[in-house]
Structure 1
Amino acid sequence: MKILAVCGMGFGSSMMLKMTVEQVLKELNQVADVETADFSTAASLPADLIVTNEEFAKQLDDGSKPVIAIENIADSQEVKEKLIVYVG
């Protein structure tokens, strides 16, 4: 599974989100390739799942792949609750 952590520029908050997603995946004993991306290129990159903030989620959700909207990118419990639906 490939997961994209997306923010405006692709290296600030997306890196924090990537680390949170990786922490949650480890807790769930799941393996995935988690990469960061900027908003403008995220839709064109191959991925099974996009994780981003609420504003970008609305714009990236075109029905081609699941998009998870996260309110607090450092909240591992929120990420876990939303991610578990897709990774088990």
Structure 2
Amino acid sequence: MNILTVCGMGSGSSLILKMNVDEILEAEGRDAEVEACDIGSVGAHSADLILATRDFKDPLEEYSVDKIFLGNVVDKVAIKKELDKYFEGKGN
């Protein structure tokens, strides 16, 4: 599975989110490749799931992959909750 974390510049909140997602997935024993990128580079990446803040909901609407929009990229409890819901919905 390929997961893409997205922010405006690709080096701030998306990198923090990537590190948190990596940590959560590792703790749960899930295998995924997680990459951080900027909003302008999303189309150049192959992703099964995109995670970003709610600010990017409209710009990411054009991409036909699953998306999770978060209020806070450092709230690991909220991130884990959203990831768990996603994987439960996928039957994993």
TM-score relative to the length of structure 2: 0.86
Once the two structures are TM-superposed, the CA of residue 29 in structure 1 deviates from its matched residue by 1.1
| Residue aligning to 1:21 | 21
- Counterparts of 1:38 and 1:12 in 2: how far apart (Å)? 9
| Residue aligning to 1:82 | 82
Gaps of 5+ in 2: none
Residue 41 in structure 1 maps to residue 41 in structure 2: yes
Once the two structures are TM-superposed, the CA of residue 84 in structure 1 deviates from its matched residue by 1.5
| Residue aligning to 1:5 | 5
**Alignment: residue pair count:** 88
- Counterparts of 1:86 and 1:24 in 2: how far apart (Å)? 13
SS at match of 1:31: coil
Runs of 4+ in 1 over 6 A off after TM superposition: none
The share of aligned pairs that are identical, in percent, is 38
Where do 1:33-72 residues align within 5 Å? Answer: 33-62=33-62, 64-72=64-72
Instruction: Tell me which structure has the larger Cα radius of gyration.
Output: 2
Gaps of 5+ in 1: none
